[in-house]
Structure 1
Amino acid sequence: MKVSIFSTCLVDLMFPGVGKDMVEVLERLGCETDFPASQVCCGQPTYNSGYLEESKQAMINMMNAFEHSDYVVGPSGSCVAMFHEYPHIFKGDPDWEMKAIALKEKSFEFTQFIVRVLGITDVGARLEGSATYHRSCHMTRLLGEAETPFMLLEKVDGLQLEPLKNADNCCGFGGTFSVKMPEISEQMVDEKSACVADTGAEYLISADMGCLMNIGGRMSRTGKEIQVMHIAEVLNRIPAEPERRGALEGGAFA
Structure 2
Amino acid sequence: MRKTYIIMCVTSIIILPVLFFLTKNIVLSGSINLLLVSIYYLAVSLIQSRKRLLLLEKYCDPDIFLAITEKQLKMTSKKPKIYSGLLINKAAALYLKGDFLQAKDVLLSIDKSLLSSSDGSLLFYTVNLISCYYELGEISQGEEMYQREVPKLIPITKRMEFALELLAAERLYYINDLNESKVRLTKLLTMKLSKRVHLSILYLLANIDDKNGDYKAAGIKFEQIYNDGNKLWIAINSKNRLLQFSKQS
TM-score, structure 1 as length reference: 0.27
Q: Which has the higher strand share?
A: 1
Q: Which has the higher helix share?
A: 2
Larger Rg: 2
TM-score, structure 2 as length reference: 0.28
Q: Which has the higher contact order (CA 8 A, sep 6+)?
A: 1
